[in-house]
Structure 1
Amino acid sequence: MSDGRPRLFPSSRPAGHVPPIVRYSSRFDHAPERLAVLFMGLSAPDGNRAGRALADFLAAAGAAPDAPCHFDRARFTDAEGRANHMAALYWPDRDAFDRWAATPLIGEWRRGTRALAEDLAQWWEPVSVAPQRAETIAFAEYRRGLSACPFSRLEPMEETGYWGAARDRIPAAAFDPLEAEVPRLAPLDAPPRARGARLAVRPPAGLAVIRSGVSWAACGAEQRESYARNVKPKLDAGMDYLRRSPLDAGCPSLRQVVLADGDGRLLEEAYSLGHFLSLGHLEAWAKHHPTHLAIYHRAMAERKKYQAALELRTYNEIYVLEPGAPEFEYVNCDPATGLLPYFPARALPPAG
């Protein structure tokens, strides 16, 4: 995916490094100027109400022109105790997403007409970047998110198994430091008046959006028990730290979710959706904080123990936002939702 420019910043890959196991990254036969992903959700104290609304939204999304070519759905409970039903939707290019979002039926959802009528909270967080500012890592037989899209093919890569590998998988990092527009996170002086309102927040340039997932569905009894006893508690502790320490970590939003099927039943796989002020903030937590080091060393121990017989499956995708990224939109949300506590919001016209 390199554009041919010479490397200005050195790779972190150690000389002679051989990946411990074969992993794959997404490549694209078409040449999109911008990839497009929409992370959106609906929440309510009554999870069934939010689930029904999400099912109706996904039906409308699939029927509209330029429908997403892939999506999945998930559930989680937020810090306010509200049940959230969410979806991640993918398009091969930004133009297709923009045409889809502008159709009348999707526009009605986006304006929050149903959310306001039924007292649902709705968050809508589109991500669109040049492919050179994105990376994926996956197992060939376990494709999720961007790697699962029909326009994505997997190729083996060598940038895995060492500190800095994620940055090395982002082609733009060879000549762009991918720095934060906002170097330090600070709460707004006053929370926005968000309940009953439609608000838009422009995410800052350099914001790193990461979806990092794990599946234990294929694990036999021994490795399932090892995941539950040895891996998951450390993963949960790391995510809990990020949620509780956004200012220290530079992580304004962290959602830990469980995948669900088309009927809303939970599956044996999960992912975390995080926003960091920059790739550097994400790397600092990953390389230096005890909570991530505990995750990393436990994962390495599992890999060393089981090697080619490892049954646990993981993946991640990272997007580093550019200046002028699409706005995140929040309808009838708690003021602690997403980016609302930290970045100025502008009021959008009321639904109607």
Structure 2
Amino acid sequence: MSEHPERLYPMNRPAGHVPPIIRYSARFDHAPGHLAVLFVGMAGADDARAEQALGDFLAAAAAAPSAPAYLDRAAFVDAEGRRTVMAALYWPDRDAFGRWVAVPDIAAWRAGQRALAEDLAQWWEPVSTVPERAETIAFAEYRRGLSACPFSRLEEMGETGYWGAARDRIPASGWDRLDGAAVRLAPLAALPAGRGQRLAIRPPTGLTVIRSGVSWAACGAEQRESYERNVRPKLDAGMDYLRENPAETGCPALRQVVLTDAAGQPLEEAYSLGLFLSLHHLETWAKHHPTHLAIYHRAMAERRKYQEALELRTYNEIYVLDGDALDFEYVNCPPSTGLIPYFEARILEAAA
């Protein structure tokens, strides 16, 4: 990896700041040109059929050359009221992802052959950017996503517990404002049919993808009750606001998911997968809107109360896409899915 440019913009970290709790970020001993993560989802009128299709896809994904180094699966109810099953898959670099995508079995899945044959909606959203435009924060004993990948290691850091910490954890923020190419979110005047189509949308430069997770599996009775009574309702309210106000927030898609096991049964952990027009749009909601302030202050109260005995575990990872982003693809999807309502789509040849 090339040396970073000199810092042009000051960090947000206050002088003398001491983190309220020890947290870690993922670091890499190899030099990835671009990191690569794939979020893929499937939904249909028959929940069991979608679950089976996702399981078959993940089996094919793991068996293919250049298989993902890490994956997990989840489920949520989409805007159409359907249960969507999904997975997040991680590679050490985009070259490995590219080799995997080129495998014929995987290419057939990407083209939506199964989705069209079984009338499933399938979305395929590859997130790829240089490591300097990404950040992670995790507990050492609770690793998910990029922090859980075998090609990453955790390193203690101090950029946590103050406003602007997430931006400070993104190395490129030292020399790049990370502005987005799209500054306003407006619905398209005419939407594609979606059903029966394979659509491709190039995400705009600066699109910011956040995966922010929480686990209550290790909580004893007291802290579990506090999470359910004090934390979870505020988290749900914040996610509802983002989903219901895309134009005001610059958030075209927010999926609040529960992780599942291989049989589709829910686990005691969840995450929110959000797309924002820019890091600034995400920060504006986080710093100024009452729904996030309620989440933040409640989380800080839990930290102050339990300190090192805190049992609730959280993490996040943020990717700010550069000008070399990969297409998001939607097969047989209703036009409310992902980026479809807001960005012009190209119609690709349907799967044979």
Tell me the TM-score normalized by structure 1: 0.99
Query: Counterparts in 2 of 1:213-292, with a 5 A limit?
Result: 213-292=213-292
Residue in 1 aligned with 2:103? 103
Secondary structure of 2:59's match?
Answer: helix
Identity %: 74
CA 1:212–1:2: 2 relative to 1, 3 Å: farther
Secondary structure of 2:80's match?
Answer: coil
1:81-117, CA deviations, whole angstroms, 9 ceiling, x for partnerless residues?
1110000000000000001001100000001001001
Asked if 2 retains the 8 angstrom alpha-carbon contact of 1:27 and 1:152, the reply is yes
> Is 1:13 equivalent to 2:13 in the alignment?
yes
Shift of 1:324: 3.0
Gaps of 5+ in 2: none
Specify the code of the residue in structure 2 equivalent to 1:267. L
Residue in 1 aligned with 2:54? 54
> Is 1:128 equivalent to 2:124 in the alignment?
no
Secondary structure of 1:96's match?
Answer: helix
C-alpha RMSD of matched pairs (Å): 0.9
Distance 1:195 1:42 in 2: 13
Distance 1:325 1:4 in 2: 21
Distance 1:329 1:241 in 2: 26
1:155-203, CA deviations, whole angstroms, 9 ceiling, x for partnerless residues?
0001000000000000000000000100010000011121110000000
Query: Counterparts in 2 of 1:1-352, with a 5 A limit?
Result: 3-352=3-352
Tell me the TM-score normalized by structure 2: 0.99
Secondary structure of 1:167's match?
Answer: helix
Distance 1:2 1:215 in 2: 36
Total equivalences in the alignment: 352
Asked if 2 retains the 8 angstrom alpha-carbon contact of 1:195 and 1:332, the reply is yes
Distance 2:29 2:259 in 1: 29
Distance 2:4 2:133 in 1: 15
Asked if 2 retains the 8 angstrom alpha-carbon contact of 1:2 and 1:171, the reply is no
Secondary structure of 2:341's match?
Answer: coil
Distance 1:82 1:45 in 2: 7
Asked if 2 retains the 8 angstrom alpha-carbon contact of 1:46 and 1:83, the reply is no
Shift of 1:3: 2.9
Secondary structure of 1:146's match?
Answer: helix
Shift of 1:46: 2.0
Shift of 1:2: 8.9
Distance 1:267 1:17 in 2: 36
CA 1:2–1:270: 2 relative to 1, 3 Å: farther
Shift of 1:79: 1.4
Distance 1:268 1:88 in 2: 17
Secondary structure of 1:295's match?
Answer: helix
Asked if 1 retains the 8 angstrom alpha-carbon contact of 2:129 and 2:324, the reply is no
Distance 1:110 1:233 in 2: 37
Asked if 2 retains the 8 angstrom alpha-carbon contact of 1:216 and 1:224, the reply is yes
Distance 2:311 2:186 in 1: 41
Distance 1:209 1:264 in 2: 25
Secondary structure of 1:333's match?
Answer: coil
Distance 1:76 1:319 in 2: 22
Distance 1:209 1:182 in 2: 14
Secondary structure of 1:224's match?
Answer: helix
1:97-152, CA deviations, whole angstroms, 9 ceiling, x for partnerless residues?
00100110000000100100100000000011100000000000000000000001
Distance 1:146 1:113 in 2: 29
Secondary structure of 1:254's match?
Answer: strand
Asked if 2 retains the 8 angstrom alpha-carbon contact of 1:45 and 1:81, the reply is no
Secondary structure of 1:156's match?
Answer: strand
Specify the code of the residue in structure 1 equivalent to 2:121. A
Distance 1:71 1:182 in 2: 30
1:55-79, CA deviations, whole angstroms, 9 ceiling, x for partnerless residues?
0000000000000010000000111
1:32-71, CA deviations, whole angstroms, 9 ceiling, x for partnerless residues?
1011000001011221111110000000000000000100
1:256-301, CA deviations, whole angstroms, 9 ceiling, x for partnerless residues?
0000011111000000000000000000000000000000000011
Distance 1:201 1:76 in 2: 23
CA 1:112–1:4: 2 relative to 1, 3 Å: closer
Distance 1:199 1:128 in 2: 19
Secondary structure of 1:270's match?
Answer: strand
Distance 2:114 2:107 in 1: 11
Specify the code of the residue in structure 2 equivalent to 1:190. A
